[in-house]
Amino acid sequence: MASPASSTSKQRDEYCCVPFCIGNARTNKELSFHHIPSEKKMRTRKQWIVAIRRDEGEFFKIGGNTVVCSKHFKKEDYRWTPNRKCLKPEAVPSLFDWKLNESSRKAPTSRQSLSTR
Ligand SMILES: [Zn+2]
């Protein structure tokens, strides 16, 4: 039997563990979710944890429901197969809301909102 490529019938309770991200497997069906690499791939796993600015500890435990949503990956982080996209094994999440804020802070505060009149 062929395994279902994208079964949505199963209720998933995965949510994105990135701070400020509200990606949720139930409400954001357009997103894909990726588990943090297992301890066998400790190097990549560490890179992920650093990238999402979290630390394993009392308040953050990596488990089966700990995922990072596709909003944090670049297009190049995926490999496209004929019918679906796969995350490359060495991919590390790199797109975050706080990065947007950091870069927009440098922007000049001048606005053009009054010049249209
Ligand atoms: Zn997310």
Please list the residues that pair with 84 across neighbouring strands: 81
Q: How far is the CA of 4 from the centre of ligand 1 (A)?
A: 24
In the DSSP assignment, the letter for residue 57 is B
pLDDT value at position 13? 79
Q: How far is the CA of 94 from the centre of ligand 1 (A)?
A: 11
Q: How far is the CA of 23 from the centre of ligand 1 (A)?
A: 5
Backbone phi, psi, residue 73, to 5° = -115, 145
pLDDT value at position 9? 47
**Each residue of 40-74: pLDDT tens digit?**
999 999 999 999 999 888 988 898 888 999 999 99
pLDDT value at position 108? 57
Q: How far is the CA of 18 from the centre of ligand 1 (A)?
A: 5
- Strand, coil or helix: what is 107? coil
Residue numbers of the chain with a pLDDT score lower than 70: 1-12, 100-117
